[in-house]
Chains A and B, each alone.
Chain A
Amino acid sequence: MANMKIKAKEKDGIVKVKALLKHPMLTYDQAKKKGVEANFITHITAKVGDTIVYDVSTSQFLSKNPQIKFKFKGAKKGDELTITWVDLSGKTVSESKKIK
C-alpha cells in the first residue's frame, strides 16, 4: 500500500500537484483519549531533482490523511517529483511520481 497518492500535471509551464498523504494525524487531545502518543506530520517538502519546490512546517491541525495541493514552475513532463514528510516521531517517508 502506497504511503501517498500523488498526481502531478504540467500545463503551460506550471505543474499542479495534488497529493493525499496517509497518516493518522493524532492531535495531543485525540492521542490522550486513546491512551497513545500524539503523532502527526510536522514537515512536508517536495523536490524536483535537487530543487525544492514546496516546503511547509505543519501543526497537529492538519486533517487525518491530509490532502494537499500546490503549484510550481520550472519543471517539465517526465521530470520526477519527490514528496517527503517527517512526523513527530521522527519517521520520514518519501514518494516519487513522474510529472505528466
Chain B
Amino acid sequence: MNRRNFMGFGVLAMAALPAALSAFSSIDFRQTKPDAWKAKTVDDAIKALYGDIKPEEKGVTVKAPKVASNGGAVPVTIKSDIPAKTVALLQNMDPESAVAVFNVPENGIVDYFLKIKLKATDENGGNGEITAILEGTDGKFYKGKVALNVAKGGCEG
C-alpha cells in the first residue's frame, strides 16, 4: 500500500527522458560568414571562412571537364572519404570566388555534383582552377583542386 512511492516513480521517469534530438541543424553560411561571399580571391575566401589554415592537399577529389564548352553550366563533382564538417567550393574565374559551402551532416557522404557558371579562362590569363576545402571532423583541413579551361564564359549570359 505505497501510494506515495507510486507518485514519485512517475516524476522520475519524466526527468530521465534522454535529449535524443539531433544536434545537427541547417547553417546559413551567407549569414554566418558574409565576408566569404564578397572575397575576390580563393585565398581571401578561405581566410574569411576558416581563418589562417594550412590545408593538406590530399583526400579531396574535384572533377570538372578539362575544357568546358559552356561556361553557363560547368559540371563539377567534389568527393572525399574524409569525415567532414563543412566543404567549401571556390574558384578563381568569377568576380567573387565562393560558389557554395556545404554543411555536412553526421554520416553525411561527401559526393556532391552541381552545375556552376564560370567566366571564360582567356579573360583570366588562362589559369582556371576550382578548389574545394574540406573541414574535417578531426579539426584539420584538406583540399583538392582541378585546372580547367572555359571556352565560352557563362557569367554575362
CB-nearest residue of chain B to A64: B72
Stretch at the interface among B54-62, B92-100, B144-152: B92-100
Q: Which of A52, A64, A67, A71 contacts B111 (CB 8 A)?
A: A71
Nearest Cβ on chain A to B40's Cβ, whole angstroms:
12
Report the minimal beta-carbon distance from B76 to chain A, rounded to whole angstroms.
10
Interface residue A93 (Cβ < 8 Å from any Cβ of B)? no
Question: Chain A, 67-78, contact with B by CB distance < 8 Å: what is the 0/1 string?
Answer: 111111110000
User: With an 8 A cutoff between CB atoms, is B114 at the interface?
Assistant: yes
Q: Does A27 contact B (CB under 8 A)?
A: yes
Residue tally, chain B, CB below 8 Å to A:
40
Chain B residues with Cβ under 8 A from A57's Cβ?
27-30, 100-101, 103
Residue B109 at the chain A interface, CB threshold 8 Å: yes
Q: List 19 A-B contacts (CB under 8 A).
A: A14-B109, A27-B117, A30-B157, A43-B28, A53-B105, A54-B102, A54-B105, A57-B28, A58-B99, A59-B98, A61-B96, A62-B116, A63-B74, A67-B73, A67-B113, A67-B115, A68-B115, A70-B112, A73-B109
Enumerate chain A interface residues (CB-CB to B < 8 A): 14, 25, 27, 29-30, 33, 42-43, 45, 50-64, 66-74
